[in-house]
Amino acid sequence: MRGPALFLAGAIVGGIAGGAVSTYVAGTPRGDVALPGATQAPATLAPPPSPSAVAGTATVPDVADVARELSPSVATVVTKLASGRTGTGSAFVVDAQRGLLLTNHHVVSGGRSHDVIFPDNRKIPARLVGSDPETDVAVLEIGATGVKPLVLGNSDDAPIGGTVVAIGSSLGDFRNSVTVGVLSGKGRRLQSETEPNIFLEDLIQTDAAISPGNSGGPLILAATRQVIGMNTLVIRARGSEGLGFAVSSNTVRQIADEIIRSGKVERGRIGIAYQALSTRQAASLGLPANTSGILVSDVLPGFAAASAGIRPGDVVLKVNDQVIDPEHPLPTIMLRYRPGDRVRLTVFRDGKEQVLEITLGRPS
């Protein structure tokens, strides 16, 4: 039986990523905002409003009002690729003064240049501040625009079953398309379509229609008019219906803040080469056959593992309290840790378990 087909919700003219796009959005006038230079010591994005600040807004939402109020802050992203093809996606403004927009990594990946097109047909060149493939988050900068920023809400507080509105450039041509659904689930995880060793974590599930070109657009909780997710992919398989997914706003805020501050996201590094522990290897070491973990094949000199006494032949079973297994591979677990963080590794060596504390290093 074939597994479900995952489609990134970006679109490429000429057609990959979920479907062909026959026409490029062209002929729109260029805005008079110049391509900005580097942002100097920017502040972080605004924190989500407190629950009390929005308590009075949780009435029956009028989707037309939500779309009318928030659509002007959603733009089409046009990425010119090195191959000569053109990719399209969506983005939304989160800081009007600096002109910062959030979108997906896969929308801007491999691009030589980027433009954003607003609903009033302004076409503005954008600078890629940085992006993070592990969470599929990217930040673009266009300079001050006067466009009202959208508010990143607290995705943890968003209620299952709440009405949500997705806004984006369906197929790249149908700019600022609005679809409606409910928040179907939270805390979902899916394997990345482009990075087989990475699982996208803390995804929000929705049955609002998401199409190629919607990637990077906001998923809005209608009752509060706050962004609770960034649309990123959809599952299309026989028997499936309404399986769209968005990166949670809490993940987006954390990653975007790091990108805005330094242009990248640095994750803590253990400093080992390894392979998944096989059933045969587990048995030969005296471990139960169903034991999950990784077998260390090499320890890189000068990194945390070497300082902590990790050796080739060690089996690492856990990082802190998280078991390393096919659903929680080491690269996914390490998404949450930064250089300087201290973590505990549960290691099986010489027939017994021991716990080693290490301070994570930086990538070389």
pLDDT digits (tens, 9 = 90+) for 230-287: 999 888 777 667 789 999 999 999 899 999 998 988 888 899 999 999 999 999 999 9
What pLDDT digit, counting tens, does each position of 36-53 carry?
A: 344 444 557 878 776 544
What pLDDT digit, counting tens, does each position of 72-126 carry?
A: 999 999 999 888 898 899 999 999 999 999 999 999 998 999 999 999 999 999 9
How far is the C-alpha of 5 from the C-alpha of 235, rounded, in Å?
6
Which string of DSSP letters, residue by residue, matches 44-94?
PPPPPPPHHHHGGG-S---HHHHHHHHGGGEEEEEEEETTS-EEEEEEEEE
- Predicted confidence at residue 17, as pLDDT, reads 34
- Predicted confidence at residue 1, as pLDDT, reads 42
Backbone angles phi, psi at 180, to 5 degrees: -130, 145
Structure tokens at 81: 């690729």
What pLDDT digit, counting tens, does each position of 147-193 carry?
A: 999 999 999 899 999 999 999 988 767 788 999 999 999 988 887 77
Structure tokens at 229: 């997710």
Sorting pLDDT into bands at 50, 70 and 90, what band is 26?
Answer: very low
Mean pLDDT of the chain: 83
Helix or strand run (H / E) with residue 198: none
- Predicted confidence at residue 297, as pLDDT, reads 94
Percent of the chain whose predicted confidence (pLDDT) is above 90: 57
- Predicted confidence at residue 16, as pLDDT, reads 30
- Predicted confidence at residue 187, as pLDDT, reads 85
Residues in the chain: 364
Full set of structural domains in the chain with CATH: 5-32+47-262 (2.40.10.120), 272-359 (2.30.42.10)
In 3D, which of 202, 217, 235, 181 has the Cα closest to residue 8? 235
**Residues known to be catalytic:** 106, 136, 215
Sorting pLDDT into bands at 50, 70 and 90, what band is 11?
Answer: low
Residues 6 or more apart whose Cβ sits within 8 Å of residue 206 = 164, 166, 181, 182, 183, 184, 219, 229, 242, 244, 245, 246
- Predicted confidence at residue 326, as pLDDT, reads 79
10 Å CB burial of residue 324 (0-12, 13-18, 19+) is buried
- Predicted confidence at residue 134, as pLDDT, reads 87
